[in-house]
Amino acid sequence: MLREVDVLIIGGGPAGVETYRALAALRRNKSLKIELVRREEKSIVPCGIPYTGVSVPLDRNVIPDARLGIRAAIDVVTEVDPDRGVARTAGGTTYKYRHLVLATGSVSTEPRFEGSDRAGIFKVVKDLEYLRRMWNYIRQARRVAVVGGGPVGIEFADELRRMEREVVLIELMPRLLPTAFDPEFGELARAQLVELDVDVRLGTAVVRALGEGRVEAVELGDGQRIPVDAVLWAAGMRPDTALAAAAGIKLGPTGAIAVDRRMETSHSGVYAVGDCAEKAHFITGRPVWFGSSSLAAHEARIAAGSILGLEWEGGGALCALITVVGDIALGRVGVTEEEARQAGIKVAVGKASAVDKHPPELPGARNILAKLIFNASDGGLIGAEVAAGKHGGEIINILAALVRRRATAREVYLGQFATQPWVTASPIAYPIIRAAENAIVTHGLR
Ligand SMILES: Cc1cc2nc3c(=O)[nH]c(=O)nc-3n(C[C@H](O)[C@H](O)[C@H](O)COP(=O)(O)OP(=O)(O)OC[C@H]3O[C@@H](n4cnc5c(N)ncnc54)[C@H](O)[C@@H]3O)c2cc1C
């Protein structure tokens, strides 16, 4: 079957769906023909996956096509010919398109230890049936090892405790959240997990899975054996670039699809958005790969603008993320102090802690820790990290706007924020203001 469309979108995750939705919302020409092809009948909400053990039913954690006005063709694109503007599917459809959007996303890396083919060893797979099998297996398990102490690993550990499993979390690096946060924030995550009775093992790797047919134990680098009934590999995702690479579309140094500021690839009229696309870091300008639904959706809106001739340009990836463990939310944006130093940027750091209600005696009050990272040379805000109670996660989004403006310490200090006893810190102890003050006083910023 031959189908002619104006825009063909491959992928039904956040990037593909938001490209479709934005195109449909912004188009002036209502007859613009948009088609979205995705592999799965129902697309899972990827960020909700860790919570489908017990917090939300798996079948309810799906992207609501009808509510978003999405009509998807369920098929697998097997080949793209960007020179001829043609794509073919396993189901026998040949698409002729004017614009192509690659939103093929990311897949889990493979477990890097011996014996990983034993039953009871799972990866993070964005597929309902796989996850159903995984949770059914884990429901029969008493003790589960989670491998990987990044945001995904700690969110799974948290949910597994809610399911009353015994959990051991194993992280290769000597701290949790090693690539996303500075050490003091990783330590806060560790303390929360320990409070939840998670057995946290840092600076060690699983080298082998043991057991007859099904996993019965994991062996660590120092020879220690930990009896477990299931293992969840949560130690990394990678961009899915197979279609693009086979079509001769250029990949960047991170292995993801190279794009310009309009999200266009090496081939005119072909765009890549979301986890399959490489990003230029907003602060360092360096190529990075950063898996994030919110960034995927941002890129989707840029690509929609490019296709509609609006000539919007993204300024690069702010690399904002929030994760939650126990009662706290941890957020970051821009660069961490460690990332700034690695990029050769001289930093001036301001820190403050506050309580998220006022007076702090109000029930449910929690601490907030805010860290602002300024460029010592030009005084601009280049990064921020926050730990707060769950609703305080939005603080990082305020800071994302300030990093995007590269606000100076004085601009942050003189910023105006609303406060209210139940939902914010006090106006005279507001953590963002106090952290800016700390940077001004400590480093003489103006
Ligand atoms: C467990 C977990 C928790 C996360 N939590 C958060 C969070 O809290 N906040 C956040 O911002 N990010 C989070 N992320 C990251 C986020 O999920 C990803 O950044 C997001 O999924 C990227 O969206 P995407 O549309 O680019 O790719 P994907 O979600 O990977 O979607 C890719 C789509 O392409 C389809 N596809 C691929 N190849 C083909 C083909 N050949 N033919 C047809 N269809 C194809 C797939 O079937 C799928 O529909 C989390 C990720 C995981 C794994």
Give me the percent of the chain exceeding a pLDDT of 90. Answer: 96
Question: In this model, does residue 446 exceed pLDDT 80?
Answer: no
β 86-89/94-102 pair status:
antiparallel
53 lines ligand 1 (CB under 6 A): no
CATH class of the region 110-235: alpha beta
> From the centroid of its chain, how far is CA 83?
33
Per-residue pLDDT at 235: 97
Q: CB of 291 closer than 6 A to ligand 1?
A: yes
Residue 237 near residue 275, CB atoms below 8 Å: yes
d(CA 271, CA 307): 9
pLDDT tens-digit readout, 72-119: 999 999 999 999 999 999 999 999 999 999 999 999 999 999 999 999
CB-ligand 1 contact for 152 (6 Å cutoff): yes
Query: Given this model, what pLDDT does residue 392 score?
Result: 76
Alpha-carbon distance values, 234 to 59, 222, 303 (Å): 22, 21, 30
Cα of 46 from ligand 1 centre, angstroms: 6
Q: How far apart are CA 6 and CA 355, in angstroms?
A: 53
Q: Is the CB of 275 under 6 A from ligand 1?
A: yes
Could you tell me if the CB of 331 is within 6 A of ligand 1?
Answer: no
pLDDT tens per residue across span 280-302: 999 999 999 999 999 999 999 99
Does 208 score more than 90 pLDDT? yes
Closest among 274, 348, 337, 342 to 304, alpha carbons compared: 274
C-beta 244 within 6 A of ligand 1: no
Residues forming a β-bridge with 408: 380
Say what the pLDDT of residue 366 is.
93
> To test the ligand 1 pocket, which listed residue (44, 100, 104) has its Cβ within 8 A of the most ligand atoms?
104
pLDDT digits (tens, 9 = 90+) for 241-260: 999 999 999 999 999 999 99
**Whose C-alpha lies nearest to ligand 1, atom 37?**
104
The domain segmentation of the chain, as residue ranges, is 2-106+238-307, 110-235, 327-443
Q: What is the CATH number of domain 2-106+238-307?
A: 3.50.50.60
Domains 2-106+238-307 and 327-443 share a fold: no
In single-letter form, the type of residue at position 168 comes to V
| Domain 327-443 top-level CATH class | alpha beta
Distances (CA, A) of 203 to 25, 159, 228: 48, 23, 19
Query: Which atom in ligand 1 lies closest to the alpha carbon of residue 89?
Result: 42
- Is the model's pLDDT at 391 over the cut of 80? no
- What is the reported pLDDT for 313? 86
Alpha-carbon span 36 to 14, nearest angstrom: 12
Residue 293, ligand 1, Cβ within 6 A: yes
Please state the atom number of ligand 1 nearest to the C-alpha of residue 49.
Answer: 1
Q: Is 153 in the pocket of ligand 1 (CB under 6 A)?
A: no
Residue 111: partners with Cβ closer than 8 Å, 6 or more residues away:
121, 123, 147, 231, 233, 235
Q: CA-CA distance, 160 to 141, in Å (whole number)?
A: 11
pLDDT digits (tens, 9 = 90+) for 359-369: 999 999 999 99
pLDDT tens track for 17-73: 999 999 999 999 889 999 999 999 999 999 999 999 999 999 999 999 999 999 899
Distance 105 CA to ligand 1 centre (A): 5
pLDDT at 272 over 80: yes
Report the alpha-carbon distance of residue 141 to residue 421 in Å, rounded.
Answer: 44
The token pair that represents 399 in the structure block:
């800071």
- At 114, the amino acid letter reads E
- Centre of ligand 1 to C-alpha 131, Å, is 15
Q: How far is the CA of 90 from the centre of ligand 1 (A)?
A: 21
Element (H, E) at 358: none
Residue 236 Cβ contacting ligand 1 at under 6 Å: no
141: confidence class by pLDDT, cuts 50, 70, 90: very high
- Is the CB of residue 279 below 6 angstroms from any atom belonging to ligand 1? no
Residue bearing the CA closest to ligand 1, atom 39: 104
Supply the pLDDT for residue 275.
Answer: 98
Q: What is the mean pLDDT of the chain?
A: 96
Task: Check whether 311 has a pLDDT greater than 90.
Answer: no
Please work out whether the CB of residue 319 comes within 6 Å of at least one atom of ligand 1: no
Spatial separation of the C-alpha atoms in residues 291 and 238, rounded to whole Å: 9
For ligand 1, atom 44, the nearest C-alpha belongs to 38
Say what the pLDDT of residue 78 is.
98
Q: Whose CA is nearest to atom 28 of ligand 1?
A: 105
- In this predicted structure, the answer to whether residue 314 has a pLDDT above a threshold of 90 is no
